A and B are shown apart, each in its own frame.
Chain A
Amino acid sequence: GQNIDQPTEMTATEGAIVQINCTYQTSGFNGLFWYQQHAGEAPTFLSYNVLDGLEEKGRFSSFLSRSKGYSYLLLKELQMKDSASYLCAVRGMFSGGYNKLIFGAGTRLAVHP
């Protein structure tokens, strides 16, 4: 089976740094994705990790530790437009040998001036 846990809500101040954690348990692991979802909109891709370590993309970085079943998304120089939900999703090999992406419930981030 699979279980993905993220904090439900977080708040942060404009210009600050925030770290959103994600822990997972899965019977098969083949990559971890982070998506951003603004209210009323579709999710959009932020990052992908399949090997241990840090992936950096501008103001956003994502870290993975496969042995610990742990990832985090780091957002630097926060802007008001970063207020959104952040979804952690794990890709694994499930029934039939096909890849599926299982999503966590998401973390709602509110950025305040």
Chain B
Amino acid sequence: NAGVTQTPKFRILKIGQSMTLQCAQDMNHNYMYWYRQDPGMGLKLIYYSVGAGITDKGEVPNGYNVSRSTTEDFPLRLELAAPSQTSVYFCASSGSGGGETYEQYFGPGTRLTVT
């Protein structure tokens, strides 16, 4: 199992550009999540999904969009990039069977700089 994979690992964007961060998991998890982590801070939930076709906002959704057309993939779209979106982005997935199955498995992260 590859677990949770993310691409790209690094990216530099100019202000106003758009991009899609890719995330895929091969653990057949129903739940998937996108977080951002600013330097020295904890993880902030951007969007999450409980299954294909179902997504919902987290704590900091402004400036982002998501879609979930398959169980495996959960891309995050940045429209009109701003310097405030400079951060490390983590994708995660978890099971949905209760208790410890809710443990989240994280991808390696995408380091994004907007200048």
A101 touches B104 (CB 8 A): yes
Q: Which residues of B contact A106 (CB under 8 A)?
A: 41-42
**Interface footprint category on B:** 20 to 34
Beta-carbon contacts under 8 Å, B29-66 to A = 31, 33, 35, 40-45, 48, 50, 56, 58-59
Q: Which residues of A contact B58 (CB under 8 A)?
A: 100
The segment out of A13-21, A70-78, A91-99 that lies at the interface is A91-99
Which listed residue, B90, B102, B109, touches A31 by the CB 8 Å rule?
Answer: B102
Interface of A is mostly: strand
Contact B102 A103 (CB under 8 A): no
- A101: B residues at CB distance < 8 A: 33, 45, 102, 104
A98 touching B104 in the complex, CB below 8 Å, given contacts A42-B109, A105-B42: no
The answer to whether A29 has its CB under 8 Å from any CB of chain B is no
The residues of A that contact B44 with a CB separation of less than 8 Å are 103
Which B residues touch A42, using CB under 8 A? 90, 106-109
Do B59 and A98 have beta carbons less than 8 Å apart?
no
CB neighbours (8 Å) of B41 from chain A are 105-106
How far apart are the CA atoms of A89 and B50 in the complex, in Å? 19
Contact B50 A33, beta carbon cutoff 8 Å: no
* 21 pairs, A vs B, C-beta closer than 8 Å: A31-B102, A33-B103, A41-B108, A41-B109, A42-B90, A42-B107, A43-B43, A45-B103, A45-B105, A48-B99, A48-B100, A87-B42, A91-B102, A95-B56, A98-B50, A98-B56, A99-B31, A100-B48, A101-B45, A103-B45, A106-B42
B contact residues vs A (CB 8 Å cutoff): 31, 33, 35, 40-45, 48, 50, 56, 58-59, 90, 99-100, 102-109
Known: A42-B108, A45-B103, A98-B56. 12 other contacts (CB 8 A): A33-B103, A42-B90, A43-B43, A44-B106, A48-B99, A87-B43, A89-B43, A91-B102, A100-B48, A103-B44, A104-B42, A106-B42
Nearest first, the 9 closest Cβ-Cβ pairs linking A and B are A42-B106, A105-B42, A103-B43, A103-B42, A48-B100, A45-B103, A106-B42, A98-B50, A43-B106
